[in-house]
Structure 1
Amino acid sequence: MFANQNKTPLFDALKEYYKKQVIPFDVPGHKHGKGLKEFAEFVGDKVLEIDVNSMKCLDNISNPIGVIKEAEDLAAEAYWADHAFFIVNGTTAAVQGMIMSVCEPGDKIILPRNAHKSAINGLILSGAEPVYIQPEINYELGIAMGVSLEEVEKAIVRNSDAKAIFIINPTYYGATSDIKEIVKLAHQYGIAVIVDEAHGAHFSFHEELPPEAIELGADMCAVSLHKTGGSLTQSSLLLLKEGLIDPKKVKTVLNLTQTTSASYLLMSSIDVARKMLAVHGDKILTKVLKLSRYAREEINKIDGLYAFGKELIGSPGVFDFDETKLSINVSGLGLTGFEVYDILRDEYNIQMELGDVFNILAIISVGDTKESIDSLIESLKDISKKYKKQKITFNKGPILKNPEVIISPRDAFYSRKKVVKLEEAEGEISGESIMAYPPGIPIVTPGERISKEIIDYIKFLKNQHSLLQGTEDPYVENIKVLGV
Structure 2
Amino acid sequence: MKTGNFQLDQSYAPIYEALETFRKMRVVPFDVPGHKRGRGNPELTAFLGQQCVGVDVNSMKPLDNLCHPVSVIQKAEKLAADAFGAAHAFLMVGGTTSSVQSMVLTACKRGEEIILPRNVHKSVINALVLCGAIPVYVNPEVDQRLGISLGMQREQVAKAIAEHPNAVAVLVNNPTYYGICSDLRAIVKMAHDAGMRCLVDEAHGTHFYFGNGLPVSAMAAGADMAAVSMHKSGGSLTQSSLLLVGPNIHAGYVRQIINLTQTTSGSYLLMSSLDISRRNLALRGRDVFHQVADMAEYARQEINAVGGYYAFGRELMNGNSVFDFDTTKLSVHTLDIGLAGIEVYDILRDEYDIQIEFGDIGNILAYLSMGDRAQELERLVSALAEIRRRYQKDGSGLLSQEYIEPEVVTSPQEAFYAEKISLPLEQSEGRVCSEFVMCYPPGIPILAPGERITAEILEHIQYAKEKGCSMTGPEDPEIKQLNVLV
Match of 1:458 among 433, 458, 461: 461
- Cα distance 1:315–1:305, how it changes in 2: closer, same or farther (>3 A)? farther
The code of the aligned residue for 1:29 comes to G
- Cα distance 1:401–1:463, how it changes in 2: closer, same or farther (>3 A)? closer
Q: Does 1:468 align with 2:466?
A: no
2:336 paired residue number: 332
Match of 2:267 among 263, 266, 276: 263
Q: Does 1:246 align with 2:250?
A: yes
2:318 paired residue number: 314
Q: CA deviation at 1:401?
A: 3.6
How many angstroms apart in 2 are the aligned matches of 1:455 and 1:133?
23
2:79 paired residue number: 74
The two structures have a TM-score, normalised by structure 1, of 0.98
The residue correspondences of 1:211-360 to structure 2 (distance < 5 A) are 211-243=216-248, 245-314=249-318, 317-360=321-364
1:85 paired residue number: 90
The residue correspondences of 1:90-239 to structure 2 (distance < 5 A) are 90-239=95-244
Name which of structure 1's ranges 366-375 and 309-318 shifts more when overlaid on structure 2.
Answer: 309-318
1:375 paired residue number: 379
2:183 and 2:320 in contact (8 A); partners too: no
Deviations 1:249-268 (A, max 9, x none): 11100000000101101001
Q: CA deviation at 1:392?
A: 4.5
Name which of structure 1's ranges 41-50 and 233-242 shifts more when overlaid on structure 2.
Answer: 41-50
How many angstroms apart in 2 are the aligned matches of 1:25 and 1:402?
56
Q: CA deviation at 1:316?
A: 5.5
How many angstroms apart in 1 are the aligned matches of 2:458 and 2:250?
42
How many angstroms apart in 2 are the aligned matches of 1:215 and 1:316?
19
How many angstroms apart in 2 are the aligned matches of 1:331 and 1:58?
52
How many angstroms apart in 2 are the aligned matches of 1:325 and 1:43?
31
Q: CA deviation at 1:313?
A: 1.1
Q: CA deviation at 1:402?
A: 2.4
Residue identity (%): 50
How many angstroms apart in 2 are the aligned matches of 1:329 and 1:396?
10
Stretches of 4+ moved more than 6 A in 1? Answer: none
2:182 and 2:320 in contact (8 A); partners too: no
How many angstroms apart in 2 are the aligned matches of 1:252 and 1:232?
25
How many angstroms apart in 1 are the aligned matches of 2:405 and 2:73?
41
Q: CA deviation at 1:394?
A: 3.7
1:429 and 1:447 in contact (8 A); partners too: yes
How many angstroms apart in 1 are the aligned matches of 2:409 and 2:250?
32
Secondary structure of the residue aligned to 2:377 is helix
Deviations 1:377-424 (A, max 9, x none): 111111111112234564554x72421111110011111100101100
The residue correspondences of 1:41-80 to structure 2 (distance < 5 A) are 41-80=46-85
1:366 paired residue number: 370
Secondary structure of the residue aligned to 2:438 is strand
Name which of structure 1's ranges 367-376 and 183-192 shifts more when overlaid on structure 2.
Answer: 367-376
2:443 paired residue number: 440
Secondary structure of the residue aligned to 1:27 is coil
Secondary structure of the residue aligned to 2:155 is helix
Secondary structure of the residue aligned to 2:206 is coil
1:136 and 1:316 in contact (8 A); partners too: no
Q: CA deviation at 1:314?
A: 1.2
Across the two proteins, how many residue pairs are aligned to each other?
481
Aligned-residue CA RMSD (Å):
1.1
How many angstroms apart in 1 are the aligned matches of 2:147 and 2:400?
8
Deviations 1:321-368 (A, max 9, x none): 001110001112111111100000000011111101111001100111
Secondary structure of the residue aligned to 1:17 is helix
How many angstroms apart in 2 are the aligned matches of 1:52 and 1:438?
32
Deviations 1:139-164 (A, max 9, x none): 10011111101110000000010001
2:212 and 2:290 in contact (8 A); partners too: no
Q: CA deviation at 1:60?
A: 0.5
Secondary structure of the residue aligned to 1:406 is coil
How many angstroms apart in 2 are the aligned matches of 1:334 and 1:258?
45
2:169 and 2:197 in contact (8 A); partners too: yes
The two structures have a TM-score, normalised by structure 2, of 0.97
Deviations 1:271-295 (A, max 9, x none): 1111111111111112111211111
Q: CA deviation at 1:315?
A: 6.4
How many angstroms apart in 2 are the aligned matches of 1:268 and 1:15?
10
How many angstroms apart in 1 are the aligned matches of 2:48 and 2:301?
38
1:419 paired residue number: 422
Match of 2:389 among 385, 390, 396: 385
